[in-house]
């Protein structure tokens, strides 16, 4: 697993031989960032897995799919948004989140519509080594990815890692549902946890995830 930033959000490359799956594509214009990392690692991109529709995670997906031929996978409920068929559900902001949202408004370019080749559901498996976990609440179609052999969990934005503390990710469409989704992730026995935002945890992943707090609630 290789983690890097593609704009404001993290992206991850899951290697399988000489090819790779990209988990989250970063912002518009960061297709070059991803391609540079792939060249450095000597990998060919075959699949792009999107954890949710937000523009900082989907912005470069269309360009990458076009330039590499990679297929795009996303959660069923978010796929129509990624394809540009309908607008995404806006978040229900808490009082603490309102100034945070105002501070980043307009800083992320909207993602162009992107074909989704496969819609994912809770419990789906990829290559027998990755399990898709439905994590609705941040967006209706949010997903996490459990890489069982590597003992890695990629949470998307259902959680974040801020100043050494795991927190419930901000800007949720349904905060209580997001909490339930995060509690479910804390039951998974993993060593490492990668977040949509913040530094990945490389050891004691399950124990660290269970310490999550909700400072913006």
Quick one: pLDDT at residue 155? 99
Record the tokens describing residue 168, joined without a space: 């419930």
Is residue 49 within 8 Å of 22, Cβ to Cβ?
yes
Instruction: State yes or no: pLDDT of 128 exceeds 90.
Output: no
Structure confidence at residue 26 (pLDDT): 98
pTM for the whole thing?
Answer: 0.97
| 183-212: average pLDDT | 98
**What number is the average pLDDT over the span 106-127?**
97
Domains of the chain listed by start with CATH number? 2-102+115-209 (3.60.15.10)
Q: String of b and e for 71-94 (b: at least 16 CB within 10 Å)?
A: bbbbbbbbbbbbeeeeebeebebb
Confidence check: pLDDT of 205 > 90: yes
User: If you average pLDDT over residues 140-169, what whole number do you get?
Assistant: 98
pLDDT above 90 (res 44): yes
- pLDDT tens track for 59-93: 999 999 999 999 999 999 999 999 999 999 999 99
């Amino acid at each position: 697993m290789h983690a890097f930033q593609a704009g404001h959000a993290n992206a991850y490359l899951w290697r399988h031989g000489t090819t790779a799956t990209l988990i989250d594509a970063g912002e518009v214009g960061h297709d070059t960032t991803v391609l540079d990392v792939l060249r450095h690692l000597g990998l060919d991109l075959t699949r792009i897995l999107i954890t949710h529709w937000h523009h900082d995670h989907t912005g470069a997906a269309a360009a990458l799919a076009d330039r590499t031929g990679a297929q795009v996978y996303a959660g069923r409920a978010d796929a129509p948004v990624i394809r540009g068929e309908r607008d995404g559900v806006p978040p229900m902001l808490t009082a603490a989140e309102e100034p945070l949202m105002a501070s980043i408004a307009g800083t992320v370019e909207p993602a162009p519509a992107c074909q989704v080749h496969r819609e994912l559901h809770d419990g789906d498996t990829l290559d027998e080594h990755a399990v898709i976990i439905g994590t609705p609440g941040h967006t209706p179609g949010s997903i996490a990815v459990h890489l069982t052999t590597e003992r890695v969990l990629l949470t998307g934005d259902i959680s974040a890692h801020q100043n050494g503390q795991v927190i419930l990710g901000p800007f949720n469409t349904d905060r209580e549902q997001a909490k339930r989704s995060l509690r479910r992730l804390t039951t998974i026995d993993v060593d490492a946890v990668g977040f949509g935002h913040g530094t990945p945890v490389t050891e004691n992943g399950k124990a660290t995830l269970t310490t999550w707090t909700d400072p913006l609630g």
